[in-house]
Amino acid sequence: MKKIKKIGVIANPEKKKVSIVTQELITWLKKRKKKVLLDSDIAKAIGRGDFACSKEELPAQVDLLIVLGGDGTLLSVARVIGMRRVPILGVNLGGLGFLAETTIKELYKTLEYIFAGKYQIEQRVMLNASIQRRGKIIEAHNALNDVVVSKGALSRILKLKVFIGDTYITTYMSDGLIISTPTGSTAYSLSAGGPVVSPNVKAIILTPICPHTLSNRPLIISEDNKVSIEIGPDSGELSLTIDGQVGLQLYPRDRVLVKKAASRVNLITHYDTDYFQILRRKLRWGGHSAKV
């Protein structure tokens, strides 16, 4: 494995105690002769402009990214990684976190393992979603968790005509449709009744939101399939949401095209915890009582 010399730190300045945690982390890393760069937001928040680098440029400058925050912070980082293969260590400063596995108490022990080369990387697939309007692609974004077509507050029921490749599948009559990766199967899709899918499964999950036909159930397809969603001509106000963070307005007769993205995200997995242990803890399976 590549020796890690340059560390990038991206943090959510709004998280409690993040300034203290970041300062302590900088000191710890500098004592171990590591070069440290901070994303511009946290650098400004703690008065360390000498370490500042934009979030977009940071992945190309470092050997490891440490993300301090929660799953939302990590999702925002995943979208700026692009084709870079820099590994990411997610450190959870929030509540329920599936992506940011490492706790503050575990951070330094985990880093010691990483610097010794004792770590594993999971490659997580991303989705690419684009809007086609009058035959032209007008906007496209990548998503690590999910892509959601949903109605506005005053919209009527949506009619979403779904194709996989060139094959017509069904027309969902519902409040919306979630297209998620296995990583995102424990996010919005799960709350809408979708299945939990292990992140190493090569799949895309389609989960209707409040379907008006009971036979419209979640559907799991190959990650190599391309999904096309045709917005009905009588649809009202509706939107496309990327990872719950980027919102785009949709119009009748638009098409939403979703496929596997060319880029992937390299997540460093916890040194002594597997995915199913995390599920048991976070979802409290089997009466697990540990704090989330």
Rounded to the nearest 10°, the torsion over CA 178, 181, 183, 187 is 0
Length of the chain: 292
Taking the C-alpha atoms of residue 262 and residue 182, their distance in angstroms, rounded to an integer, is: 16
β-pairing, 203-209 vs 219-222, is antiparallel
Based on the residue annotation, tell me whether 224 is a catalytic residue of this protein. Answer: no
Contact 44/52 with Cβ under 8 angstroms?
yes
Kindly report the backbone phi and psi dihedral angles of residue 51, in degrees, each rounded to the nearest multiple of 5, phi listed first: -105, 5
Q: Which of 39, 41, 71, 175 is catalytic?
A: 71
β-pairing, 227-231 vs 176-180, is unpaired
Which uninterrupted H or E stretch holds 159?
strand 158-164
Of 280, 289, 278, the closest CA to residue 71 belongs to: 278
Q: Which residues are catalytic?
A: 71
